[in-house]
Amino acid sequence: MPTSAASAFGELYSAYAAGRLDPAFSLLLETQSMLRPQVRQAMAVGETISGLMLERDQPAAMSRNAGARALALIDELEAGGLPMHAAPHLPHEPELSELPEPLREPALTAHGDKGWQTLASGIRRLGLDVGSELEVELYRIQPGARVPRHSHGGQEFTLVVSGGFTDETGSYGPGDMAINGPEDTHQPVGDADGICYALAVRDSGLRFTGVMGLVQRLLWR
């Protein structure tokens, strides 16, 4: 792994352990942890270290009767005095239902709300709302389908959830993370061994080249 990529991962793990990671990146890491045992281990180590550091901090003073009020609220909740939020009804979609647990619910919710958008032949994308200002999209890439060649307005992290794709930098399979910046231009192509699902998080939009780029610039006017 390139030094810059390793550094980026280290920062994500540290922020996650400290509880200050953006929800979009939290979804990315939690999904990857379901695919890679070593990622689960790294996250667990980070959380342990964070917990030890928290134990060494000076405790904050609580307001008077804070503990009693918390216990009273718990009792009221258990007695049915406070409304319980029902789990959302999620639409049935066989492929999305097979996604790892951290990703499954937001994907099914987004599918029920607005459905897939076609980007190109064999390429569909689904915008996810996870409470983040970052762009979060799930891609469905059919074998041999080509994502239009593009660069990036900022940083983009793409996690392969199933299947795989290949671009100018190499091949990526389940659990692999591709990191691209403004200086990178590439064209991912779906591998031949099955449909690829990929989760992308970015802080700026894609910048297409060629005909797609021309269409994009015309729409932006």
Confidence (pLDDT) at 81? 53
Confidence (pLDDT) at 126? 97
Confidence (pLDDT) at 140? 97
Confidence (pLDDT) at 163? 97
**Of 24, 58, 29, which Cα lies nearest the Cα of 42?**
29
Model pLDDT for residues 118-134, shown as the tens digit of each residue: 999 999 999 999 999 99
Question: Residue-wise over 128-146: b if at least 16 C-beta within 10 A, else e?
Answer: bebebebbbbbbbbebebb
Model pLDDT for residues 159-189, shown as the tens digit of each residue: 999 999 999 999 999 999 999 988 989 999 9
Mean pLDDT of 195-207: 89
Confidence (pLDDT) at 20? 85
Confidence (pLDDT) at 10? 66
Whole-angstrom Cα distance, residue 80 to residue 196?
Answer: 45
Domains of the chain: 96-220 (2.60.120.10)
Quick check: 191 and 135 in contact, CB under 8 A?
no
Whole-angstrom Cα distance, residue 52 to residue 71?
Answer: 26
Confidence (pLDDT) at 211? 46
State the average pLDDT for the chain.
79
Mean pLDDT of 15-27: 88
Model pLDDT for residues 50-60, shown as the tens digit of each residue: 454 445 556 65
Whole-angstrom Cα distance, residue 59 to residue 44?
Answer: 24
Quick check: pTM over 0.75? Answer: no
Confidence (pLDDT) at 93? 84
What is the number of residues in the chain? 221
Share of the chain above pLDDT 90, in %: 49
β strands within the chain, DSSP E = 117-120, 123-127, 135-141, 150-152, 156-162, 165-167, 170-172, 177-180, 189-190, 196-202, 206-208
- How does residue 116 score in pLDDT terms, banded at 50, 70 and 90? very high
- How does residue 82 score in pLDDT terms, banded at 50, 70 and 90? very low
